[in-house]
Amino acid sequence: MIEPSIIKNPPYPQNYATEFLLLDKGEGIYLFDADGNRYRDFAAGIAVNALGYGREDLAHIASEQMKKLIHVSNLYANKPAVELAKKMVASGDFAAVHFGNSGSEANEAALKYARIYGKRKKGPQCHHYLSFTGSFHGRTMGALAATATEKYREPYEPMAPGFHFSEYNNIKQLEETLTDEFCAVIVEPLQGEGGCTPMDKEFAAALNKICAEKDILIIADEVQAGMARCGEIYSSALSGLNADIVTLSKPLAGGLPLSATLIPAKVNDLVHLGDHGGTFGGGPVTTAVANFIWDTLTAKDFLADVKKKGDLLAAELEGIKADLGLKAHVVGAGLLRGLALEEEGQSAKIGEIIGKAQSKGMLILRAGSNVIRLAPPLIISEKEIKEGMALLKEAIKDVLTA
Ligand code: PLP
C-alpha cells in the first residue's frame, strides 16, 4: 500500500474535490507524487497524454518555439499553425481548420459554423441541433446545451434554445426527430464520458442517409476518441459515420491546450470575415508541438500498434471478468476501454475501486454510472498493460469480495 502525497483544501472552487493526489513529475507511462511514489497511469490526464511523460522531444520543440515566437493572435499567421492546418485539412474532405484551446471550444466553433450553414443556406428556421443520450460535449454554455446528461445541465438552466436529444443508437427515434429545420447533428462516434459506448454501424448508416437527404451537417466530436486513441485517426471510421465537421482536442498538443474544428468547403464558403475568432487558438507553441504529435499519431504503424495493444487490453479485461466471475461486459475500442459492471451493488463501488487501484500504484477513471474506464498513454507497452491489469484485478477483487 502506498502512503500518497495528498493536498487538502487548495484554494480551488468547490466544484472540485477538497483532497487531491499531489503529482510532481512523470516518465513514460508513470507518474510520481510529491513523495516520490510511482503510479501506472491508465488515465493519461483524461485521455490526453498520448505520448506519455518526460518527453525531451516535446520539451525541446516547445522551448525552441517559445524562444523564437510565443504568441501573435489570429490577426497574424504563424508557420507552425499553417503547417499543421495544411496537414489536418488533407486528412479528409476538409477546407479549413479553426484552432481553439479546449474540446468545449472546438464544439462551440462547430455549432456556430453549423448554424451559419443552416441559416445562410436554408433559412433562419434551420437552426436546430440534435445530440444524443449519454453524450458529453463540454461545459461551456453551447457545448453544455448539446450535452444530454441532466446532472451537468440542471444547475445552469435555462439552456440555449434549439437543442434536442434522441437516444444513442436508436434509429427509429432518429427518423422521428430529424426534420429539415435541423442544421446539424453533433455526436461522439464512440461515447467517452457516457461509458465508452461505440456507435452501431446500422445507426451510422441511418444517420448518414437522413443527413444527406435533408442536408443536415454531421459534427463528429472526436475530442476523446479521435486521433489514434481507438486505433484510427478518426473514430468515425469504426462505424462508417460520414462526418462533415470534426472536432479534436485532448491529445492534439501532447498535453498543451489546443483544439481544432475541421470544416468542409460547403461550410467555409458561407462563413464571413469576423464571424468567429479567438485570441489564443493556434498559437505557435502549441501548434509546433502538435505538428510532431500529429505526424507521430497518424503514422500507419503507430495506429496499427494502438489497435494491437487495444486488443490485448480488451482480452485482459475479459480475463479479469472471467477470473472474478463478474457480471460485466468489456466496452470501448483501441486504448479507450472499459469494464461495464452490470450489478448495481458493484457499480456503486467504482469510486472505491479507483481508490484501491491508486493505493496499489495505479490511476484509472470512471465513465457513465457503471464503467471502469482505462485510457493509458498510447505509448504503453504490452508488458505494462499486463502488469496494470494484474493490479486492476487485485483492486477489483479486494473491493468486491471484501
Ligand atoms: N467532447 C468530448 C467527447 C469530451 O470527452 C470532452 C471532455 O472530456 C469534451 C468534449 C470537452 O473538452 P474540454 O474539457 O477540453 O472542454
Same domain, 25 and 94: no
pLDDT at 1: 78
Q: Looking at 297, 332, 356, which one is the last position of a domain?
A: 297
DSSP code for 156:
G
- Ligand 1 midpoint to CA 222 (Å): 9
396 shares its domain with 344: yes
- Residues 185 and 120 reside in one and the same domain: yes
Q: What is the pLDDT of residues 181-204, one digit of tens each?
A: 999 999 999 999 999 999 999 999
CB of 102 within 6 A of ligand 1: the answer is: yes
Percentage above 90 pLDDT, the chain: 99
Judge whether 16 lies within some domain. Answer: yes
The reported pLDDT for the residue numbered 121 is: 98
* Residue 211 belongs to a domain: yes
**Positive or negative: CA dihedral 168, 173, 176, 177:** negative
In this structure, are 139 and 282 located in the same domain? yes
* Burial grade of 319 (CB within 10 A; 0-12, 13-18, 19 or more): middle
Give the residue from 379, 91, 113 showing the smallest Cα distance to 234: 91
My answer on whether 94 and 228 are in the same domain is yes
> Across all residues in the chain, what is the average pLDDT?
97
**Which three cell numbers, joined as nine digits, stand for 365?**
477513471
Task: State whether 385 and 266 are in the same domain.
Answer: no
Q: Do 184 and 249 share a domain, yes or no?
A: yes
Domain ends where: 282, 297, 312?
297
State the distance from the centre of ligand 1 to the C-alpha of 137, rounded, in angstroms.
6
Indicate the number of domains in the chain: 2
Alpha carbon 44 to its chain's center: 11
Is the peptide bond between 158 and the residue preceding it cis, with omega within 30 degrees of 0? yes
The domain of 10 spans 6-41+300-400
* 266 and 329, same domain (yes or no): no
Residues in the chain: 402
**Cβ atoms of 217 and 267 closer than 8 Å:** yes
Nine-digit cell string for 387: 502488469
Model confidence pLDDT, tens digit, residues 358-397: 999 999 999 999 999 999 999 999 999 999 999 999 999 9
DSSP 8-state class, residue 238: G
Residues 70 and 198 in one domain: yes
Q: How confident is the model at residue 3 (pLDDT cuts 50, 70, 90)?
A: confident
Q: What is the mean pLDDT of residues 120-148?
A: 98
Q: Could you tell me if the CB of 134 is within 6 A of ligand 1?
A: no
Instruction: Write out pLDDT tens, residues 208-255.
Output: 999 999 999 999 999 999 999 999 999 999 999 999 999 999 999 999
Residues 293 and 336 in one domain: no
* Beta carbons within 8 Å of 22's beta carbon, 6+ residues apart: 5, 6, 7, 33, 34
pLDDT value, residue 13:
94
**Cα-based torsion angle of the residue sequence 295, 301, 306, 310 in order, rounded to the nearest 10 degrees:** 160
* CATH number where 122 lies: 3.40.640.10
Whether the pLDDT of residue 402 is over 90: the answer is no
Q: Is 78 in the pocket of ligand 1 (CB under 6 A)?
A: no
Ligand 1 pocket test target in 131, 144, 249, 336 with most atoms within 8 Å of CB: 249
Whether the Cβ atoms of residue 43 and residue 393 lie closer than 8 Å to each other: no
